[in-house]
Amino acid sequence: MRLTWDTIQVNAVAFVKRWQGITSEKQRDQGFIEALLRVFGVEDSRAVGTFQEKTRIEGSTKWIDYLWKSKIAIEMKSKGESLDNAFEQLRQYMQSIEKLAQAVLDARALYPDSSLADLYDPLTMPPELLKAHRALDRAVMQAYGFSVRDMTEESCVAELMKRYREIAEDKTDNLWI
């Protein structure tokens, strides 16, 4: 539901009044996130996102408190805790795709005398490049909420193009549901 800025402001003031005494991250964290998203007109947070989203960052498993893929990531901390670690975790999550894309470019740079046609020949693709692309493909698919196990490359590209067309045809700001 698309809300006016006046409605969002009224909702935000009510939200702050309701939650101002909560000091612990685990003290109704899902309820807090659900209420926060309702400020902006999101009535069913589970329909658009995931609580406690498991992700891999630099080889270790991390949990994002709430993730609405391609829209918002929320990492909460209790009152008095440093937000630096939460910020760093989210920054690493968001930058992981950039790092994987750079790994593809780095793998291609190992073969400066090869054309793109040579590098991407399925029979002779360098193993470093293949490994880098597979890692990048997995990360992109996870970021868009695609099934890494079940989705083929062709269906992934088709879905990405469909989403691009929807965004390109949408003349609104595409921020709200």
Q: Is residue 72 part of a domain?
A: no
Number of structural domains in the chain: 1
Q: State which residues form the domain around 162.
A: 82-169
Task: Tell me the C-alpha distance between 35 and 12, whole Å.
Answer: 10
Q: How far apart are CA 78 and CA 29, in angstroms?
A: 10
Amino acid at 134: R
Whether residue 120 is contained in a domain is answered as: yes
Residues of the chain short of pLDDT 70, as ranges, are 1, 24-28, 56-59, 70, 143, 167, 170-177
Tell me the Cα Rg of the chain: 20
Q: Is residue 44 part of a domain?
A: no
User: Strands 60-68 and 72-74: what pairing?
Assistant: antiparallel
In a domain, 152, yes or no: yes
* β strands within 33-162, DSSP E: 50-57, 60-68, 72-74
Contacts of 130 (CB under 8 A, 6+ apart): none
**pLDDT given for residue 137 in this prediction:** 84
| Domain presence at residue 41 | no
pTM attached to this predicted model: 0.52
Confirm whether 126 is domain-assigned: yes
| pLDDT at residue 27, as a whole number | 58
Q: Is residue 91 part of a domain?
A: yes
- Give the closest residue to 65 by CA, choosing from 38, 34, 44: 34
- pLDDT (0 to 100) of residue 177: 39
Say what the pLDDT of residue 25 is. 62
Residue 76 lies in a domain: no
